[in-house]
Structure formats: C-alpha cells, structure tokens
C-alpha cells in the first residue's frame, strides 16, 4: 500500500502537468531566463543611451549659456574699448588745453593751435533738433494712419514703401538736398525771413536728416501700436468713444514708452549721420544763430578733415577728441533717456 502511494507521488511530481510544487516544469525557468536575459539587457542599454543623450543635452545647454555670456561681455567691452581708445588719442590736446576751454571756446584755428569745439557742438544740436521737430509729427501721424485708419489694401502699399526709404544710401539723400532743398531755401523760404542765405544751412541739414530718420521712427512706432491689445480699443469704442478719442486717450497713452524709445533711437541715428549732412550744412566753423545760418556738425568735421591735415600738430588729437565728444554725447543721451523711460513705464503701470 505504501509503495503504491510513493509511486503515485513520484509520477505526479515527474509528470508535465504536476511539475514543481509551484505548478511549473523544472526545466521551464531555465528557458525563461534565457529568453528574458536579452530583453532586460536591451532595455538597460536603451536606458543608458537615453541618459547619455540627456547629459549631452544638458552639457550643450550649459555651453551655449556660457557662450552667450561671453559674447555679451565682449559686446560691452567693445564699447569700453572704443571709449578708452578715443580718450587715449585725445590726451595730447587735453594736456594742451583744458576741457572747459575746449568745450566753450568758439575759436577754431588749427594752425595756431587753437581748437574750440563749441561751434561744432551747437551745429550738431541744431541739425538734430530741427530733424526731430520735423520728423516726429509726420512719423507719428503716418504710423497712426497705417495701424488705425488705413484699409488693408493701402497698408500693403504703404508699409513696403516706408521700408524702402531706409534702404536708400545716405549720399542719395545728400544729392537730393543739394539739388532740391538748398534752392528751395535760398529762393523761396529764406527771402521771407533774412536778407541773404546761400541755402547751405542747418535747416537744410535738418530737413535732409528728417527724411533719413523717417522710416526708422515710422517702423518702430507702427510695431509699438500693433502690440496694443485690440480689446482696449473695443472697450473704448463700446463706451461711446470715437475712433480719434480712442486713439488719443488709449492707443497713444499706452504706446508712449515705445514712442519715446523710437525717438531715442532716431536721435542717436541723427547725431552720427555724416555724409548727407556734410553735403548740405555749409561746414562753417561758427555758431549758428538762426536756421538759415550754416553749421558744422561734429561728424562732418571728422569726415571732412581726418587724413588731410595730419601734418598740423595736435590736429589728429583734436579730431579724436571730437569723436570722443560725439561718443559721450550719444552715450549720456541714451542713459538719461533710458532713466526717463523707466520712470514713465513705472508711472503708467501704477
């Protein structure tokens, strides 16, 4: 009886249906391990590959961030190097004459060693101020019409035309000023105000410069107007305001910081313009007392004389000081404008 029970248990354990005590064939786990080993190795290698790719992406991101930081620092250092270089070449004339004398003297006699920059500073300010006074209202109204009033078909015509003006070389504006603006001032405008004018004046330089900075201001102000949410206009119109009231009290108020930023960029461009202004201003080293008097801006002084009269002692140093003066004027103007713009933005935000 006992032998019969033992034989039956032995058959049950050795039968394929019985298997081990867990109901599996003793040979089956070995086969499963052989099948699972390649699969687990594949997923492990895949996971390691993804980790390596992710680490490489992080490394690349850090390297790009460091590269951008280096390029930013280099950009700032270039500005500093320009200022230091101009100052270094201006040292001889600063040792010869005091800074106050250079800035306030109106006597320009290089052969005698007298270098007074006051006429050139005033010539630069006259031409820049006239150009901004002429250009700003025209640019503002043009940008308002393009964004607020013009039909879509007219917008498609005006926008490329305005951008086309920015691609015209400055010498073309200078030739246009000589052929059209100067005769207009000499024959038709100046006789009503002064006894005589050659037409070569700060007014001619301001008009030519206003046309040159026109596309820059229009493009920037147009983009500023387009960033204003349409919901603000719709809310104003829904309350009964007219389109002009909405433009004046909503659009212009909201866009005021952007308009000031466009004005700052335009003035910086006007300060440094050379060829066109040189051709129409008259280039007389005297302080202008009216818009019909000739002027001599700092960029025209540098372009007109550098390289021609370097045999005169201190002349090259004087021209480098003129460049340094122009550099400092533009830099200070941009810093002051940025401070005013930041305060205005905080005030409007409050």
This prediction has a pTM of 0.77
Among 5-19, 63-77, 211-225, 240-254, the minimum mean pLDDT is found in 5-19
CATH placement of domain 102-349: 1.10.3720.10
Contact 322, 300 (CB under 8 A): no
pLDDT at 312 over 90: no
Produce one character per residue of 274-304: b if its CB has 16 or more CB atoms within 10 Å, e if not. Answer: bebbbbbbbbbbebbeebbbbbbbbbbbbee
* Residue 69 vs residue 11, higher pLDDT: 69
Whole-number percent of the chain with pLDDT over 90:
37
Please report the pLDDT score of residue 46 as a whole number. 60
pLDDT in tens, 188-236: 999 999 888 899 999 999 999 999 999 889 988 998 898 888 898 999 9
pLDDT in tens, 89-113: 999 999 988 899 999 999 988 888 8
What's the pLDDT score for residue 64? 93
* Tens digit of each residue's pLDDT (9 = 90 or more) over 120-177: 999 999 999 999 999 999 999 999 999 989 888 888 888 888 888 888 888 999 999 9
Q: Roughly how many angstroms between the first and final C-alpha of the chain, as a whole number? A: 103
Whether 1 shows a pLDDT value over 50: the answer reads no
What percent of the chain is predicted at pLDDT more than 70? 84
Question: What distance in Å separates the CA atoms of residue 115 and residue 263, rounded to the nearest whole number?
Answer: 32
Domain residue ranges of the chain, discontinuous segments joined by +: 2-63, 102-349
């Amino acid at each position: 009886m006992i032998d019969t029970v033992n034989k039956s248990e032995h058959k049950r354990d050795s039968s394929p249906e019985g298997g081990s005590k867990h109901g599996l064939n003793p040979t089956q786990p070995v086969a499963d391990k052989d099948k699972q080993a390649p699969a687990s190795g594949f997923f492990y290698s895949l996971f390691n590959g993804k980790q390596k790719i992710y680490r490489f992406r992080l490394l690349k991101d850090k390297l790009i961030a460091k590269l951008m930081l280096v390029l930013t620092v280099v950009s700032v250092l270039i500005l500093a190097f320009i200022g230091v270089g101009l100052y270094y070449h201006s040292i001889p004339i600063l040792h010869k004459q005091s800074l106050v004398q250079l800035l306030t003297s109106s006597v320009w006699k290089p052969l005698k060693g007298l270098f007074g920059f006051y006429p050139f500073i005033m010539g630069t300010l006259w031409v820049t101020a006239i150009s901004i006074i002429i250009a700003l209202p025209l640019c503002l109204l043009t940008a308002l019409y393009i964004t607020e009033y013009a039909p879509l078909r007219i917008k498609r015509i005006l926008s490329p035309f305005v951008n086309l003006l920015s691609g015209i070389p400055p010498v073309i504006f200078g030739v246009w000023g000589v052929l059209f603006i100067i005769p207009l001032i000499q024959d038709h405008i100046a006789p009503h105000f002064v006894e005589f004018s050659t037409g070569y004046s700060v007014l001619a330089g301001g008009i030519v410069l206003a046309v040159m900075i026109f596309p820059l201001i229009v493009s920037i102000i147009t983009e500023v107007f387009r960033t204003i949410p349409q919901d603000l206009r719709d809310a104003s119109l829904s309350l009964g305001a007219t389109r002009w009231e909405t433009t004046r009290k909503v659009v212009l108020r909201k866009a005021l910081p952007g308009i000031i930023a466009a004005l700052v960029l335009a003035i910086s461009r006007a300060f440094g313009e050379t060829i066109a202004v040189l051709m129409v201003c008259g280039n007389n080293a005297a302080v202008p007392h009216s818009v019909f008097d000739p002027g001599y801006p700092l960029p025209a002084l540098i372009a007109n004389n550098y390289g021609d009269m370097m045999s005169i002692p201190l002349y090259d140093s004087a021209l480098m000081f003129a460049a340094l003066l122009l550099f400092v004027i533009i830099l200070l103007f941009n810093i002051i404008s940025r401070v005013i713009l930041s305060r205005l933005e905080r005030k409007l935000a409050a």
